[in-house]
C-alpha cells in the first residue's frame, strides 16, 4: 500500500439530458479532482458532454468516461443481459465518444469507471468484468480503470494489464464480502456529511473496507467517490474534502497518484 499522503476524490457528472437536469455540476467540479462523465447511454447528451468536459478542464479536473448499459429510462440501474460482443462494442462506442469530445476541447480521457448496474454486475461477475477490461484495453492501454476495492472488476483490470485505481464510496454501506449493500435495503445509502465523513475516515484509518457488521477488508484506497445527484451532495463533498485536507492528505487527479 502506498503512503496515504495523496488521494483522489471523484464524482459522477454530466448526467443531465436535454431539458432534464441532474445535480449541480459546476459546484461539484470545484470540489472533486476527477469527473466520471456520462456518455449518453444512461444520461448525458453531446452538448452536456462537451459542456462538462470544458468545465472540468477549466478547473484542472481529470476526465473519465462513465459508460453504462443502454438504459436511459432506468438511469442505467437496471440489470441487462448483453452478449460480450454487444457489451464490448457499446463500451467502445461510449468511451470513444467522450474521447472525441475531450480531444475537441484540448483534453484527454484518462480513466474509465462503469456506471450503475453495469458496475454492480461487473464487480461480482468475472466474465462480465473481463469484457469491460477488454473494451478499455482495446481503446487505450494507458487508461486507468477506476474500480471498487475487492471487486472482480478490479481483478480483471489487473489481469488485463491495465492500471487500476481502487475506490471506496463515501455514501454507500458495505456487506461483509465487500459488495455494496443493495439500495433496496435499509441503510444502504448514507446521507449528509455527518454520516459520510466518519464512514470515509474509518476506512482510511483502517486501510480497509469497513462493513455494516464492522468487518475489515484490507485494501489500498486510491479514490473516494462522492455522488453529486442528491440533496446536500455538494455540502457533503466539501466536508469530505475538508476532512481529507485537515488530515494532511492532498486531493489530486487520478493520473497524479502513484502508478
Q: Report whether 151 contacts 126 (CB < 8 A).
A: no
Distance of CA 101 to the CA centre of its chain: 19
Q: Which ranges of 140-192 does DSSP label H, i.e. alpha helix?
A: 152-159
Structure pTM? 0.96
Question: By the 8 A CB rule, do 10 and 64 touch?
Answer: yes
Given a contact cutoff of 8 angstroms between Cβ atoms, the answer to whether 72 and 120 are in contact is no
| Residue entry with cell 462493513 | 211
Which single residue is written with the C-alpha cell 500500500? 1
Q: Rounded to an integer, what distance in angstroms lies between the CA atom of residue 228 and that of residue 17? A: 15
Q: What is the pLDDT of residue 3?
A: 63
Predicted pLDDT at 2? 57
DSSP 3-state assignment of 240? helix
Residue 190 DSSP label: -
Handedness of CA 26, 31, 33, 38 (dihedral sign): negative
Architecture of domain 6-256: Alpha-Beta Barrel (3.20)
Note down pLDDT in tens along the chain; length 259 residues: 556 899 999 999 999 998 888 889 999 999 999 999 999 999 999 999 999 999 999 999 999 999 999 999 999 999 999 999 999 999 999 999 999 999 999 999 999 999 999 999 999 999 999 999 999 999 999 999 999 999 999 999 999 999 999 999 999 999 999 999 998 899 999 999 999 999 999 999 999 999 999 999 999 999 999 987 777 899 999 999 999 999 999 999 999 998 7
Helix and strand counts by DSSP (H, E) for the chain: 8, 10
Give the tens place of pLDDT for each residue, 152-186. 999 999 999 999 999 999 999 999 999 999 988 99
Domain extent listing, the chain: 6-256
Amino acid at each position: 500500500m502506498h503512503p496515504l499522503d495523496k488521494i483522489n476524490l471523484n464524482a459522477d457528472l454530466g448526467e443531465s439530458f436535454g431539458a432534464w437536469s441532474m445535480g449541480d455540476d459546476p459546484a461539484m467540479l470545484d470540489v472533486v479532482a476527477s469527473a466520471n462523465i456520462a456518455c449518453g447511454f444512461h444520461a448525458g447528451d453531446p452538448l452536456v458532454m462537451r459542456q462538462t468536459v470544458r468545465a472540468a478542464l477549466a478547473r484542472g479536473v481529470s476526465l473519465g468516461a462513465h459508460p453504462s448499459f443502454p438504459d436511459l429510462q432506468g438511469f442505467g440501474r437496471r440489470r441487462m443481459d448483453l452478449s460480450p460482443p454487444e457489451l464490448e462494442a457499446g463500451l467502445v462506442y461510449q468511451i470513444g465518444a467522450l474521447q472525441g469530445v475531450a480531444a475537441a476541447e484540448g483534453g484527454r480521457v484518462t480513466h474509465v469507471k462503469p456506471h450503475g448496474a453495469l458496475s454492480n454486475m461487473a464487480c461480482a461477475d468475472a466474465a462480465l468484468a473481463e469484457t469491460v477490461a477488454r473494451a478499455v484495453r482495446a481503446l487505450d492501454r494507458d487508461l486507468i480503470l477506476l474500480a471498487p476495492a475487492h471487486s472482480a472488476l478490479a481483478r480483471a483490470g489487473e489481469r488485463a494489464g491495465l492500471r487500476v485505481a481502487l475506490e471506496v464510496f463515501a455514501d454507500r454501506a458495505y456487506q461483509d464480502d465487500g459488495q455494496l449493500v443493495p439500495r433496496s435495503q435499509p441503510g444502504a445509502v448514507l446521507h449528509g456529511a455527518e454520516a459520510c465523513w466518519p464512514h470515509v475516515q474509518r476506512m482510511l484509518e483502517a486501510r480497509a473496507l469497513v462493513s455494516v457488521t464492522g468487518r475489515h477488508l484490507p485494501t489500498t484506497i486510491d479514490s473516494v467517490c462522492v455522488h453529486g445527484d442528491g440533496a446536500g451532495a455538494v455540502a457533503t463533498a466539501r466536508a469530505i474534502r475538508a476532512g481529507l485536507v485537515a488530515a494532511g492528505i492532498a486531493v489530486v487527479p487520478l493520473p497524479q497518484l502513484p502508478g
